[in-house]
């Protein structure tokens, strides 16, 4: 018992070290980040320029000597954009089904992998891309393609539904399992559903029986809405398409 204070001190030190390393240091580095516009007003010329900061020539010698924050345009769209509505519901489904264990959501910089060559994004992702996410889904492995920009690469809802129902329809040779349980086979009503899947003709065994149709459930629509919301089509001051 005489070592009890030392034991408690050790436990306290471990907890404090972990808190400082994982939470406090991250908050100091990234806690100040906010959504920004792609362009700001240059107080020198009044023109819009890319970036969050502008250089000022304070002493009038023709050389910039001060870096100040630019002024965003009023009512201009800021980035990143948060997931809302159906897409947010789809994100919860994405998490619950474990999609993040096979798919990442981070584009590495040029020279650190083949993300650019594979067309997974036109720029690397940075901490600001994730500041509006309560749970960041960077992923744990890359068994499947990175999905940070899947909404740009595949902007068709029909493509996503076919891919979820049977990945072989759209991606022959894919090792991704089918998610048929997100779809319902039912009798055609007075008129066919506009959401009914159009099964490719080269998969005749997958077509529903005559008089039936395969339609997405609400959960399938939520998941597809989320996947289509994953777009990296904007620039940030610290990450440009040209870099």
Question: Tell me, what's the pLDDT at 77?
Answer: 81
The residue length of the chain stands at 243
The pLDDT score that the predictor gives to residue 56 is 66
Q: Give the C-alpha separation, 220 to 212, whole Å.
A: 19
**pTM, to two decimals:** 0.81
Q: Are 98 and 141 in contact (CB under 8 A)?
A: no
Q: Where are the beta strands (DSSP E) in 57-182?
A: 66-69, 71-72
- At residue 70, the pLDDT reads 60
- Predicted confidence at residue 232, as pLDDT, reads 93
Residues of the chain with pLDDT under 70: 1, 40-46, 48-56, 58, 64-74, 242-243
| Cis geometry, peptide bond prior to residue 171 (ω within 30 degrees of 0) | no
Cα–Cα distance, 234 to 240 (Å, whole number): 9
Contacts of 124 (CB under 8 A, 6+ apart): 107, 108, 109, 110, 115, 239, 243
Place of tokens 């901490």: 127
């Amino acid at each position: 018992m005489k070592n009890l204070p030392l034991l408690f001190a050790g436990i306290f030190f471990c907890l404090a070290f972990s808190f400082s390393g994982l939470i406090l240091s991250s908050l100091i580095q990234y806690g100040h980040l906010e959504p920004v516009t792609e362009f700001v007003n240059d107080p020198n010329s009044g023109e819009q320029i890319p970036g969050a900061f502008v250089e000022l020539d304070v002493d009038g010698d023709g050389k910039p000597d001060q870096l100040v924050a630019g002024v965003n345009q009023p009512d201009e769209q800021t980035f990143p954009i948060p997931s809302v509505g159906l897409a947010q519901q789809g994100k919860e489904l994405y998490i619950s089904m474990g999609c993040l264990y096979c798919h990442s959501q981070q584009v590495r910089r040029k020279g650190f992998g083949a993300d650019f060559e594979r067309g997974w994004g036109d720029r690397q992702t940075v901490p600001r891309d994730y500041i509006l996410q309560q749970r960041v889904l960077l992923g744990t492995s890359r068994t499947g393609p990175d999905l940070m920009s899947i909404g740009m690469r595949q902007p068709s809802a029909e493509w996503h539904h076919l891919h979820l129902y049977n990945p072989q329809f759209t991606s022959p040779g894919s090792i991704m399992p089918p998610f048929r349980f997100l779809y319902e086979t039912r009798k055609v009503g007075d008129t066919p559903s506009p959401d009914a899947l159009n099964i490719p003709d080269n998969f005749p065994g997958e077509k529903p029986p005559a008089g039936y149709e395969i339609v997405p459930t609400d959960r399938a629509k939520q998941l597809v809405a989320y996947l289509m919301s994953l777009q990296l089509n904007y620039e940030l001051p610290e990450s440009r398409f040209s870099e």
